[in-house]
């Protein structure tokens, strides 16, 4: 079971963490209330921005992504430069990132629009963390991506087109396929 946070420290989206303990009908009973919470959260951010409490004339970027992970559990991710209603340092935006793992490689896709490929810095730390960083006068992005397995940093291949960064990394220890057992 997921450790519950104090109500003031919980994002309106933390309810997805509790999903496995719900029955199917419970999801729909709670859905309307959760979406109202999300709407209040976004309205608060917009109201504070309009009142000048956050942003100080800097762009505000906020979004979220929802998908069902390979383990069948929902994954909800926020991105942008607004975290808990606060513009992050120097308006650094957190790009939306998707990580897909196969038997022998890990593919990472990140949305970093409005920059040139020369502005993008990629770094692999300790063979299991990818750092994506863009620092130019117009746009700043930063994201540390925990990789699901150790990777060979020499195998990294990256492409950037139309604001989408794709990175492929080979695993150091590919998953071995199991041995089939014949049933008699």
Percentage, residues of the chain above pLDDT 70: 61
| Per-residue pLDDT tens over the stretch 60-79 | 666 666 767 667 777 666 76
Residues 169 and 138 reside in one and the same domain: yes
Residues 99 and 168 reside in one and the same domain: yes
**Containing domain of residue 9, as a range?**
1-89
Last residue of some domain: 74, 89, 104? 89
**What pLDDT, on the 0 to 100 scale, is given for residue 116?**
93
Residues 82 and 111 reside in one and the same domain: no
Residues 33 and 54 reside in one and the same domain: yes
| Per-residue pLDDT tens over the stretch 120-135 | 999 999 988 999 999 8
| Per-residue pLDDT tens over the stretch 45-56 | 777 766 666 656
Residues 45 and 9 reside in one and the same domain: yes
Is the pLDDT at 92 greater than 60? The verdict is: yes
Q: Give buried/exposed letters for 105-144 (b at 16+ CB in 10 A, else e).
A: bbebebbbeebeeebbeeebeeeeebebbbeeeebbbbbe
What is the domain count for the chain? 2
Residues 81 and 104 reside in one and the same domain: no
| Per-residue pLDDT tens over the stretch 133-171 | 998 888 889 999 999 999 998 999 999 999 999 999 999
**What pLDDT, on the 0 to 100 scale, is given for residue 124?**
93
The structure tokens listed for 116 are 């040139």
In a domain, 179, yes or no: no
Residues 115 and 134 reside in one and the same domain: yes
153 neighbors 127 (Cβ within 8 angstroms): yes
Is the pLDDT at 105 greater than 80? The verdict is: yes
* Backbone φ, ψ for residue 117 (5° rounding): -60, -25
| Per-residue pLDDT tens over the stretch 19-42 | 555 555 555 666 677 777 778 877
165 neighbors 97 (Cβ within 8 angstroms): no
156 neighbors 106 (Cβ within 8 angstroms): no
In a domain, 49, yes or no: yes
Last residue of some domain: 89, 111, 131? 89
Last residue of some domain: 55, 89, 123? 89
Q: How far apart (Å, rounded) are the C-alpha atoms in residues 71 and 69?
A: 5
**What pLDDT, on the 0 to 100 scale, is given for residue 125?**
92
* Cβ burial, residue 23 (10 Å; 0-12/13-18/19+): exposed
CATH number of the domain at 117, please.
2.60.40.790
In a domain, 74, yes or no: yes
State whether the Cα torsion 121-88-41-44 is positive or negative.
Answer: negative
In a domain, 181, yes or no: no
120 neighbors 160 (Cβ within 8 angstroms): yes
Looking at every residue in the chain, the average pLDDT score rounds to 76
């Amino acid at each position: 079971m997921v450790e519950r946070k104090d109500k003031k420290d919980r994002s309106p989206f933390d309810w997805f963490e509790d999903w496995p303990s719900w029955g199917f009908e419970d999801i729909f009973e709670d859905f309307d209330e959760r979406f109202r919470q999300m709407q209040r959260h976004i309205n608060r951010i917009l109201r504070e921005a309009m009142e000048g409490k956050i942003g100080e004339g800097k762009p505000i970027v906020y979004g979220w992504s929802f998908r069902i992970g390979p383990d069948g559990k929902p994954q909800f991710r926020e991105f942008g430069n607004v975290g808990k209603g606060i513009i992050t340092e120097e308006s650094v935006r957190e790009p939306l990132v998707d990580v897909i793992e196969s038997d022998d490689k890990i593919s990472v896709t990140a949305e970093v629009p409005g920059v040139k490929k020369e502005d993008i810095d990629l770094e692999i730390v300790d063979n299991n963390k990818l750092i994506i960083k863009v620092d130019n006068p117009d746009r700043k992005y930063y994201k540390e991506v925990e990789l699901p397995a150790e990777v060979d940093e020499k195998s990294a291949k990256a492409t950037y087109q139309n604001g989408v960064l794709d990175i492929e990394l080979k695993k150091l220890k590919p998953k071995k396929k199991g041995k089939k057992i014949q049933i008699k």
